[in-house]
Structure 1
Amino acid sequence: MLQRNLALHTDLYLPRWMYIYWKEGRHNERAVFDVYYRSNPFEGGYVVFAGLENIIEYIQTLHFTEEDITYLQTMIGFPDEFKDELRNFKFNGSLSSVKEGEIVFPNEPLVRIEARIFEAKLLQTAILNIANHESLIATKYARIRQSAPGAKFLEAGSRRAQGIDAAYFGTRASYLAGFDVTSLASAGRDFGIPCGGTMEHADIQFHDDELTAFRTFASHYPDQATLLVDTYDTLKSGLPNAITVAKELAADGHKLRGIRIDSGDLSYLSKRARKMLDEAGLLDVEIVLSGDLDEYVIQDLRIQGAQANTFLVGTRGITAYEQPALGMVYKLVAREIDGELAPVIKVSSSKAKTTTPHIKEAYRIVDPETNKFKGDYITLLDEDPSQLDFVDLIDVRDPSFRNRIENFKVERLLAPIFKDGELVYTVPTIEESRQFHEQQIGRLWEEYKRLRLPEIYAVTFSDRLWKLKLDMIRKTRLASGVK
C-alpha cells in the first residue's frame, strides 16, 4: 500500500541512461534482468521472500508527472523531444516472481524482468529497495518465530524502525512471517493485522501508586488488561499488586489477561511469577516477556525453562538488528541482438560477483513421500526437469560431486505476474500469503532452520546452464586478453 507514485524513486544514472539509449535509438531493444542475492543473512539457512505486493502496486502506478519531467530535464539536460517519451512511459514488459512468503536461497532468480531497456532500467532501484527491505525483515521475524514453536508473538518495534515506511511495511513483514499481533494501528487498519498492546511504565508513574494504575486500567478494560509489573520491583510490588487486581476482577466476573515483565532476569522472574500466580489460583493468567528480545535470547530462555507463552519483540526484529542489508542485486542476463535475446555475463575476479547468463527458470525438487524440499534446480528457459528420469543435485560439502535424485516431483518457483504490461496474477491477501509461508517453511527440513550453523541448502545449475556460464567466462576472458 504505497499510496504514491515513485517514478523518481530511482538512482539518477538510470533515467540518464534511459535518455542515452533513446538518443542512440536503442531504447526499444529488449533486455532481461534477474533479481537475486548472494548469501543468506544472519548466517542463516534461508530467506523469506517478501515485497511482491508493493512491487506490483509500484509498477501499476508508475508514471512521470510534469514536475518529475521538469526536474529530470534540469538534472540530465535532455531536449524537449524526450519529454514525450517520459509522458507516455508505461511498463509494457513481463515480470515473473516467486510468491510472497516463499522460502528462497542464494543465487537463484527471485524476480525476472523482460522489457525494453528503457523500461527495465527504471524499475531497478524501487524493486531492490522493496524486496531487500521486506525480505530481510520477514526473514528476521521468521527466525524469531521459529525460536519458540507454539508461543504467541507480538510485534512492537515501530518506534525503533528506521523511518515510518520501515515501521509500516516491516510490521506487514512480521505478520507474513508468522507473528500474531502488532501494536501499530495503521498496519492493523490497512493490512487487517490483529492489533493490540499493554501499557508502558509512564502509565504507572503517572499515578500516585502502582496499584491505582493497575486498577484504573482494569476498570476500563476488565477482560483485556495485561499489567506491566517491573516498574518498581517485579516480585515485591508488581506481582502482588497484579494478583490483587486479578482477584478483584474475578470477583466481578472478569479475568486478568496477563502480566508483562520487561526487565531483569527474565528467566528467573518468569518462573517466580508463574509460581506466585499459580499459588494465587491464577493459572490462566499469561506471562509476557519483552526487552530487547531476539531469536537467540528467546531460544536461551526456553532452554532455561522460562515460564512464558508470549513474547513481545521490538527493536531487534523491526531493524533486523545485526544485519543492516540483505544485498539483493538486479543484473542483466540477456539482451536483444539481431532480434533475438542473447545471453550476457559479467565476469569478476570475485567469484560471487560473476553473474549467471541468460533467461532461466527456477524449480524446486521435492521428495514425493515427505513433501519436503530436496534442493532447487536452475535451468535454461527451454529445460523441464519434470521430464527427466533423475536430477543430480550438487553436494554442498564437495561441489565436485552430485547427489542423484530419482524419486522426485518438481515445482516451478517463478510465477507470471505481468505479461506485456498487463497484470495476470491474482494478488493474494496477507492472510493467504501468511498461510502460504507457514506451509512452505513447514516443508523445509529442521536442519536448514537452525539459528546457528544451519545445513547448506543445495541450489544446482543444470548441466547446460553451467556449461554456458563456463564457456562465456572463458570467451570473455580471452576477448579481454586474460588467460
Structure 2
Amino acid sequence: MSDTTSGALVTDLYEVTMALSYLRERMTAPATFGLFVRTPPPERGFLVAAGLEPALDHLSAVRVTEADVAALAAVLDRPRADLEPLLDLRFTGEVRAVPEGRTVLPGEPLLEVTAPLPEAQLVESYLLNQVCHQTAVASKAARCVLAAGGRPVVDFALRRTHGVPAGAQAARLGAMVGFAGTSNVAAAAAYGLRAVGTMAHSYVEAFGDEAEAFRAFARAHPGPVTFLVDTYDTAGGVAVAARVLSELGLHEGCAVRLDSGDLGALAVTARRILDGAGLPDVRITASGGLDEYGIDHLVRSGAPIDVFAVGTLVGVAADAPFVDAAYKLVAYDGRPMMKLSTGKVSAPGAKQIHRGPGLTDTIALRDEPAPPGTEPLLRTVMTDGRRTGPPGTLAGAKAAFEADLAQLPPAARRIRSPRMPTAAVSERLARLTADVRHRIEQRIAR
C-alpha cells in the first residue's frame, strides 16, 4: 500500500464530494462532458488547442488509492469509512478531442469525456487546468510567430513563468507553433529542442572589460557565439563585439544581442557598425519585454533584427492569461443536458466539429454525417481508459498548426484588432437545444 497520495487528489473538493454522492446514489451511468471556450480572450483572432497530451497522461494513470482515502478523511474531518466508496476509482471512459496544434473557435469542444458519471466528474479540474493554461500560452506564442514574419523566435520564459512545469510547457508550446529554440535546458533535453542562449550582464560585469569578457566567452564556446552588448553603452558594446569577432575570425552564425532601450533605433546603429566592420553576416538578436505587439512594431518599422527572443509576456500570456473555458455536462444516461444560467448557457448532446476550407466550422451533433468537403476535428483518442494510439508528437502538432494557420482568414491573423471567425451551429443541434430548453423551462414553471 502506498503511503503517498496520487494524482487523483489534484482536483477541487467539490469534484470529490459530487463523485462520492454519485457513488452512494448509484448514479454511475455514462455521462458526457464537453470542455469548450465560452468567449474568446481580447485581441485574439484564433485559439490553438493545447494541453491534450498531459491530460491524457493523467487520465491513463489516475486511481484513488488507500493513501488518497486517508488524506480525504483528514481533510474533511470525517470517518475514513465515509470515503471508502471512492477507493480504486479510476478513469475507464472515452475521450474525443481536437488534436494539439489545431485552431479552435469559441463554443467548439476542445475535448469530450464520456465515462461513468463519478469518473467524468472527478477529472474536471485537472483537465481544465491543463487545457486552459496551455491553450492560452500556445495562442499567444502563435501570434509572435505571425508577427515575426518568418524571422526566428526563441523562448526565454523560464525565469518568470508561474512555476517550473509552466516553464517547460512554454518551451514545448513555443516549439509547437514554430519557435526556433528555448533557453530552458531541461525542456530542450526532454522535447528534443534546440537550446539557445548567450550571457548575462553580470558575466560582462564580472570581467570588468567587455573585450576580455567576449574573448573569454569565445574561448569557452568555440562555435558560433552571441555577445550581449548593452551592459554599459550599446553602440560601444557593438563596436567592441565587432572588433573581437574580427580578431578571432568569427563571423557566420554569430550575433550580438540587444536587451534594452529603443531596440529599433539600436538595431539600426548595430547593423551600421557591424557592416562597417565587414561583418554583414553577424546577426542581431533582440530581447527585453517583447511579445507579438513589440515584434510587430519592430518588423513594421523595418528594424534590421534577425532573431526575436520572448520571455515573460509570452510565458504567462500576460495580456490574456486565461481562457474562459468550461466543462459542462451535455448528456447523462442517454438524455441530453444543458445549463441555462445567464451568460453561461451550454448546448446539449455529444458533438462533432465539421471544418470546411478557410476555417468555416460547423458545430454539429456527434452522429451527424460530415458535409462534403469538410473534415471532423474531434478524434477518439482514448477508449476504456486507454489511449487509442501512441502519444501525439510535437512534429505532428506543429504540422497541424501550420496547416490551419495557412487557412486562417487575413482578419484573424492580424496582430492588432483581429476578427475571430464564428462557428456555425447545425440545424439538428439548434433544434435539440431549443427542445431541451423548452422541456427545462416547462419543468421549472410547474
Q: Name the TM-score class by shorter chain.
A: over 0.9
Note closer, same or farther for the CA distance 1:364–1:78 as it changes in structure 2 (3 Å cut): farther
Aligned match of 2:26: 25
CA–CA distance in 2 between the matches of 1:431 and 1:195? 17
Aligned match of 2:16: 15
Q: Is the 8 A contact 1:334 1:357 kept in 2?
A: yes
Larger deviation: 471-480 or 272-281? Answer: 471-480
Report 1:43-122 matches (<5 A).
43-76=43-76, 77=78, 80=81, 82-83=83-84, 85-122=85-122
Aligned match of 1:295: 292
Q: Is 2:409 the counterpart of 1:445?
A: yes
Report 1:267-306 matches (<5 A).
267-306=264-303
Which letter maps to 1:364?
Answer: R
Q: Is the 8 A contact 1:258 1:287 kept in 2?
A: yes
- 1:11-60, Cα deviation, whole Å (9 max, x unpaired): 0111111111121122x221110000012224211100111110111011
Aligned match of 1:381: 366
Larger deviation: 421-430 or 209-218? Answer: 421-430
Report 1:73-472 matches (<5 A).
73-76=73-76, 77=78, 80=81, 82-83=83-84, 85-235=85-235, 237-250=236-249, 255=252, 257-336=254-333, 341-350=334-343, 353-366=344-357, 372-373=358-359, 375-386=360-371, 409-472=373-436
Q: Is the 8 A contact 1:347 1:355 kept in 2?
A: yes
CA–CA distance in 1 between the matches of 2:141 and 2:83? 45
CA–CA distance in 2 between the matches of 1:99 and 1:19? 32
Note closer, same or farther for the CA distance 1:416–1:98 as it changes in structure 2 (3 Å cut): same
Deviation at 1:81, TM superposition (A): 7.3
Give the paired residue count: 441
CA–CA distance in 2 between the matches of 1:228 and 1:161? 23
Larger deviation: 93-102 or 430-439? Answer: 430-439
Which letter maps to 1:121?
Answer: Q
Note closer, same or farther for the CA distance 1:302–1:81 as it changes in structure 2 (3 Å cut): closer
Segments of 5+ residues of structure 1 without an aligned counterpart are: 367-371, 387-407
Which letter maps to 1:458?
Answer: T
- 1:106-144, Cα deviation, whole Å (9 max, x unpaired): 001110011101100111000000001111100000011
Which letter maps to 1:355?
Answer: S
CA–CA distance in 1 between the matches of 2:180 and 2:38? 30
- 1:322-341, Cα deviation, whole Å (9 max, x unpaired): 122112110000111xxxx1
Deviation at 1:79, TM superposition (A): 5.5
Aligned match of 2:441: 477
Deviation at 1:65, TM superposition (A): 2.8
Determine what percentage of the aligned residue pairs are the same residue: 34
Deviation at 1:317, TM superposition (A): 0.7
Q: Secondary structure at the match of 2:109?
A: coil
- 1:311-359, Cα deviation, whole Å (9 max, x unpaired): 01111110101122112110000111xxxx1101111232xx1110111
CA–CA distance in 1 between the matches of 2:238 and 2:82? 74
Deviation at 1:225, TM superposition (A): 1.1
Q: Is the 8 A contact 2:175 2:193 kept in 1?
A: yes
Q: Secondary structure at the match of 1:45?
A: coil
CA–CA distance in 2 between the matches of 1:257 and 1:420? 53
Q: Is the 8 A contact 1:332 1:344 kept in 2?
A: yes
- 1:225-257, Cα deviation, whole Å (9 max, x unpaired): 10011111111x20111011111121xx76561
Note closer, same or farther for the CA distance 1:360–1:88 as it changes in structure 2 (3 Å cut): same
CA–CA distance in 1 between the matches of 2:195 and 2:378? 33
Deviation at 1:474, TM superposition (A): 2.9
Q: Is the 8 A contact 1:43 1:452 kept in 2?
A: yes
CA–CA distance in 1 between the matches of 2:80 and 2:312? 49
Which letter maps to 2:238?
Answer: L
Which letter maps to 2:184?
Answer: L
CA–CA distance in 2 between the matches of 1:217 and 1:256? 15
Which letter maps to 2:443?
Answer: A
CA–CA distance in 1 between the matches of 2:260 and 2:385? 53
Larger deviation: 444-453 or 154-163? Answer: 444-453
Q: Secondary structure at the match of 1:328?
A: strand
CA–CA distance in 2 between the matches of 1:349 and 1:183? 45
Deviation at 1:459, TM superposition (A): 0.5
CA–CA distance in 2 between the matches of 1:43 and 1:469? 30
Note closer, same or farther for the CA distance 1:165–1:305 as it changes in structure 2 (3 Å cut): same
Q: Is the 8 A contact 1:31 1:334 kept in 2?
A: yes
Q: Is the 8 A contact 2:15 2:122 kept in 1?
A: yes
Q: Normalized against structure 1, the TM-score is what?
A: 0.88
CA–CA distance in 1 between the matches of 2:7 and 2:221? 43
CA–CA distance in 1 between the matches of 2:248 and 2:288? 28
Deviation at 1:431, TM superposition (A): 2.1
Q: Secondary structure at the match of 1:227?
A: strand
Deviation at 1:304, TM superposition (A): 1.1
Q: Secondary structure at the match of 1:378?
A: strand
Q: Secondary structure at the match of 1:277?
A: helix
Note closer, same or farther for the CA distance 1:417–1:256 as it changes in structure 2 (3 Å cut): closer
Which letter maps to 2:347?
Answer: T
Q: Is the 8 A contact 1:416 1:425 kept in 2?
A: no
Q: Is the 8 A contact 2:70 2:80 kept in 1?
A: no
CA–CA distance in 1 between the matches of 2:377 and 2:324? 20
Q: Normalized against structure 2, the TM-score is what?
A: 0.95
Note closer, same or farther for the CA distance 1:78–1:32 as it changes in structure 2 (3 Å cut): farther
Which letter maps to 1:88?
Answer: D
